[in-house]
Amino acid sequence: MDINSPGGRNNIHSQHRLSVLLVVCFLILALIPEALATTETRYFRSDTATVNGLTTEILGTSNSATFGNRTLLINDAEASATRYYWGHRTYYRTSGGVETEITSGVSNLFYRSSIGVGWQNVNWSCPQTSISSTDSIVVKVYASLWSSAEGYAWTLLDTWQTGQLGTTIINANPWNFTVWTYLAITTGPPKKWTGAIYFGNSTYDSRILGFKYGEITKSWHSLTWTSTLNTRTWRSLSWTETLATRAWQSLAWTFDLTGKAWNSVVWILELTGKTWSSILWNLELTGKTWNELVWEISLGPGSEIPSLWIGLLTFSCLIILVFGVVLLKKG
């Protein structure tokens, strides 16, 4: 076929129309709002569970029913301490039991310098962190006296852990630790500081607010678009896009147009990243009369995408693609 003939020009225009339609469908996917992130309140429960080989108290999205407390008496032999601190270290833990710290040592949360009891709260800035979908989050709570002479001497009170989160990104967000604390001080020697945290029921619902994960980011580190056109009859067209970000690790998008009559079109859209474990989207049009359309969408665990959004996106892309097929047949 002569590329300068009417039929050749129509064939090229038809292919251009399909390319535009594919780009439109991709943009529809890109417009999924960032509000699809999950932001939770996580409660320090009093019951336990085993996750990724570690048995701990549960850091759950709902509270338990049973009161719990963790109390630590610290003797101040030098009578130099001026504050009783509580702090935490936070990790992500793999299914193989490997823990990687998100904090940088113990993060100071709150303190008491005199006898008292009641709610205390403070924010900790959780950094954006890449994890695997089978990872859990582990929060270890510590206590220590502090003095200008002695500094800190942290002691582990207890450990809480989420289940496997089913996401591949912990988003940067302030975590607000709201905890019921208690402090008693008795004179010595030695001077005795007895601190405690209360948790586990509706009265003492110690918790973390702002636990955020799974947000889609729009900062794509790289975008690669390769198009190959062979022969004047456009026997093969390959189009691949790769996006590498903390939200979408990779995006591969390929379609092939084979034969003078466009016998075969294969379009594969795959997203693998921190929010969606995998999306596999195959579009295949077979035959000179475009008599077969196969479209598959697979969402991995923890996608947190409402079914309404999926339905609307699927319907929109399907209408656009069917319209494109009609145009191609007429072309």
Could you tell me the sign of the dihedral formed by the alpha carbons of 79, 85, 86, 87, in that order?
Answer: negative
Which of 11-15, 176-180, 311-315 has the weakest average pLDDT? 11-15
Q: How confident is the model at residue 220 (pLDDT cuts 50, 70, 90)?
A: very low
Instruction: Give 273's strand partners.
Output: 248
Average pLDDT over residues 43-65: 98
CA distance 117 to 114: 10
Which pLDDT value is given to residue 48?
A: 98
Residue among 8, 47, 7 at smallest CA distance from 229: 8
Q: How confident is the model at residue 37 (pLDDT cuts 50, 70, 90)?
A: confident
Residue among 41, 172, 180 at smallest CA distance from 118: 180
What is the 3 state secondary structure string of 241-293? Answer: EEECCCCEEEEEEEEEEECCCCCEEEEEEEEEECCCCCEEEEEEEECCCCCEE
Contacts of 231 (CB under 8 A, 6+ apart): none
The percentage of residues in the chain with a pLDDT greater than 70, rounded to a whole number, is 54
Q: Residue 146: what residue type?
A: W
| Whether the predicted pLDDT of 97 surpasses 70 | yes
| Whether the predicted pLDDT of 303 surpasses 80 | no
Most confident of 8-12, 306-310, 318-322: 318-322
| Whether the predicted pLDDT of 5 surpasses 90 | no
CA distance 6 to 84: 85
> pTM for the full model?
0.62
Which pLDDT value is given to residue 109?
A: 84
Give the CA distances from residue 67 to residues 166, 199, 205, 232, 295, in Å, rounded to whole numbers and listed in that order: 29, 6, 9, 76, 52
Which of 36-45, 75-84, 294-303 has the weakest average pLDDT? 294-303
- Reported as a single tens digit per residue, the pLDDT across 252-290 is 545 444 444 554 445 454 444 444 444 444 444 444 444
Which pLDDT value is given to residue 165?
A: 96
Please spell the DSSP secondary structure of 110-166, one letter per residue. Answer: EEESSSEEEEEEEEEEEPPEE--TT-EEEEEEEEEEEETTTEE--EEEEEEE-----
Instruction: Give 294's strand partners.
Output: 284
| Whether the predicted pLDDT of 107 surpasses 80 | yes
- Reported as a single tens digit per residue, the pLDDT across 6-23 is 555 555 555 555 665 665
Which pLDDT value is given to residue 315?
A: 66
Which pLDDT value is given to residue 265?
A: 45
Which pLDDT value is given to residue 27?
A: 55
Contact by Cβ (8 Å): 184, 142: no
